[in-house]
Amino acid sequence: MIRILLFILCVVAAALGLAWFADRPGTVTVEWLGYQVETSAFVGALAVAAVVVLLILIWAALRYLLTRPAAVAAYVRERRRQQGYDALSRGLLAIGVGDRALAQRYAGIAARSLPREPLTQLLRAQAAQLKGDRGAARRAFEAMLDHPETQLLGVRGLFLEARRSNDNEAARALAEQAVKRDPKLGWGVNALFDMQARAGDWEGALNTLAIARRNGHVEADAAIRRRAVLLTAEARDAEASDPDKALALASEALRLAPSLVPAAEIAGRILASQGESRQASRLVSRTWKLAPHPDLALVYAFAKPGEPPRERMKRVKHLASLTPGDIEGHIAIANAAIEAHEWQEARNALAPYLEGRPPARICTLMARIEGGELGDKGREREWLARALRAPRDRAWIADGYTSDRWLPVSPVTGAVDAFEWKAPVDAIGRGDDTLLIEERPEPFIPSAPPALASPRTDTLSAQRQGAGGVVDVGPADGREGHGWGEAPQAKAAAEATPRSTAEQRLKPAIFVPARPPDDPGVAQAETDESPTSLERLRAAQIR
C-alpha cells in the first residue's frame, strides 16, 4: 500500500513539473564547434535527461563486460563447491551402508572439489578404511594434523589404526597426546586408563583416573572403587620391597572400599609380620564381616606367629562367629580343627553341608578327616571321588575367567575391578565334563621370625586347601606334614585308587583359558600328567 502511494506521488510530481515547464515557455541556445542549436526550455530539459540515461546505460554495459570473467570464475567455484558438498554427503552415506566403490568415487570427487575441506580428509580416511588400505588411511589422518581444527580428529584416527595394528606403544602415545590437548575428551582418558591398567602402570592409572573424575568421565562411586583397586594392586607389588609403603597403600584402599578382601589381606599380613597382631586381627575381622574369604581366615589364624594349632582354632572359631550363616566360616573352622587334630570339631563344622551334593572343598575336607582320624582309605577314596563330581566352589571370576587369586585387571577384557568372589557354573559352557583350569596362587607365607618355619609350611597347605579345595599330601619334597590341607594317609589311599570313568574323561577335556601377553601377573596353568586321581584333582583345581 505504501509503495502504491509513493508511486502515485511520484507520478503527480512529474506531471506537475511538466505542466510547470509548459506554462513557462523559453528558449535554450547551444553554440558548439560553429554550430548553433536553439530550442525550447522543455525540449532542452528532455534532451538533458536522455543524455543522462544514455550515459548510465553505457556505463552499465562497460561494467558488465569488465566483470564477466570474475563472475564466470565465481560461478564455476560455487558450482564446484556445491558438487563437493554433494559428494561429501553421498560419500558419507555410502560409507554408512558399506558401499566401498561408491565411497571411493565420491571421496575422489570431494578431493578435487574441496581439497581444503576438513570433511574431505575424513571421507578419504574412512573410504580407505572401508577398502582396507591402512596406509592411505594413516596418510589421511596424518594430513589432518596440519590443521588446528582437525588435529584431534587426526589423533583419534591414528589411535584407532594403531589399535587395529596391535601397536600398543603408538596407541598409548596417541592417547596421552589426546589427553594432554583436551582432557574433556572421554575416549582419550578412558583409553589411556585402560592401557595403563593393563600394563601395570598403577601410578599413571591413578593420575588418569583423577583426570577422568575431574572431567566427569566416571561416576564418583566408581572412581572411588577403582582407586581402591589400583592402590591394592600397587600395594601388592610393593609388599616385598617396601612393606611400609604397601601397608599405607592397602590401608588407604580399605578406607575407600572396606570390603576389598585383597587390601585387607595385604594389610593384615604386614601388620602381623610387624608384631601388630591385635591391629591385624581387628582389620581382618572388619573386612570379614563384609566379605568372608578363606585368605582372610588364614591371615587371622596366623596373626599371632608361633601359636599352637588349638589356639589358632579358637581364633578361627571367633572369626567364624561374626558371620554364622556363611560357608567360609565353617570351612575355616574345619581347616583349623584338622590342623589341631580335633576331628569331631571338624566334622561338626562340616555337618550342615554334607546332605545332597556338597561342594568340592567340603568333600576334600571330609576325605582328610576320614584319612587322618581313622585311616579309612575306603571312605577317603569315596569322598575324593565325590569331590570330582561335586559342584565347584567359589573363586575369583571375571569375564568367564577363573583364578585362585585376585587380580586387579581382567585378563580377558582389561576391565579394572572385574573379579568377583563367587561360585562358577559347573563345566562352563560345556556338557562333556570339561573343566576350567585355574592358576595356582603363591602359597601364603606370613612374615615371622626364622624360628617359625613350621607354621609357614603349615600355611602353604592351608592356602591350597582354603582357597582351592584341593587335598595336598605334604610338602613338595614328599615328607609328611601336618599343616592345613595335609592328610598323611591320603597319599597312599589316592595312589591305590583306580581311575574312574569321570577321571578318565577329565584329562582330555581340560581347557586352558587364553591369557593376554600383556598380563605379567598371570601364570599359565599346566596339565598334570600324574596317574593318580589325587594329583589329577589338583591339576583340574576343582572348586
* Residue 480 pLDDT greater than 60, yes or no: no
* Residue 492 pLDDT greater than 50, yes or no: no
Instruction: Tally helices (H) and strands (E) across the chain.
Output: 23, 5
* Residue 538 pLDDT greater than 50, yes or no: no
Q: How many residues in the chain?
A: 543
Helices 377-389 and 533-540: crossing angle, nearest 10°?
30
Strand 401-403 and strand 395-398: the pairing is antiparallel
Mean of pLDDT values over 356-370:
92
- The residue whose grid cell reads 562358577 is 424
pLDDT digits (tens, 9 = 90+) for 175-225: 999 999 999 989 999 999 999 999 999 999 999 999 999 999 999 999 999
Domain ranges for the chain, please list them: 74-165, 344-543
* Residue 482 pLDDT greater than 70, yes or no: no
CB 381 within 8 A of CB 494: yes
Amino acid at 20: W
Helices (H), 390-464: 453-463
Helices 453-463 and 327-339: crossing angle, nearest 10°?
140
CB 331 within 8 A of CB 361: yes
- The residue whose grid cell reads 578404511 is 129
| Grid coordinates belonging to 408 | 586387579
pLDDT of 426: 53
The CA-based diameter of the chain, rounded to the nearest angstrom, is 154
* Residue 329 pLDDT greater than 80, yes or no: yes
* Residue 115 pLDDT greater than 50, yes or no: yes
pTM assigned to the model: 0.65
